[in-house]
Amino acid sequence: LAKTTQPISMDSYEGQEVNITCSHNNIATNDYITWYQQFPSQGPRFIIQGYKTKVTNEVASLFIPADRKSSTLSLPRVSLSDTAVYYCLVGGAAGNKLTFGGGTRVLVKP
């Protein structure tokens, strides 16, 4: 079972880049890595998903090293509205467990 750990909290300022690393030492061969954003009293919202190397979409980038034991979510030029909790989720393939990290509270300051 992949134990998934993240920093508890992180502060940043508007316009800066925020990088959040998730550690998943026991990731299975066919597990995916997915990141979600959650605001209070709302369901998590999908940000990005990857399997290996680098994935980029219009809101974020995901970096996964060759050993896949960690992953880093990169949020470019954050704004106040990016203040939220960010979760990594490891797993997803049929038969595999789904394990959320503990979540990282990101506070973006003006």
Partner 1 sequence: DTEVTQTPKHLVMGMTNKKSLKCEQHMGHRAMYWYKQKAKKPPELMFVYSYEKLSINESVPSRFSPECPNSSLLNLHLHALQPEDSALYLCASSQDRAYEQYFGPGTRLTVT
Q: Are 32 and 55 in contact (CB under 8 A)?
A: no
Q: Give the nearer residue to partner 1 in terms of CB position, either 45 or 77.
A: 45
Assign 3-class secondary structure to 32-82.
EEEEEEECCCCCCEEEEEECCEEEECCCCEEEECCCCCEEEEEECCCCHHH
Q: Give the nearer residue to partner 1 in terms of CB position, either 64 or 101.
A: 101
Q: How far is the CB of 38 from partner 1 (least distance, A)?
A: 8
What is the contact surface with partner 1 in residues (CB under 8 A)? 30, 32, 34, 36, 41-46, 49, 87, 92-94, 97-98, 100-103
Q: How far is the CB of 49 from partner 1 (least distance, A)?
A: 5
Q: Give the nearer residue to partner 1 in terms of CB position, either 70 or 86.
A: 86
Q: How far is the CB of 74 from partner 1 (least distance, A)?
A: 18
Q: From CA 72, how far away is CA 24, in angstroms rounded?
A: 11
End-to-end, the C-alpha distance of the chain in Å comes to 40
Q: Give the nearer residue to partner 1 in terms of CB position, either 15 or 102.
A: 102
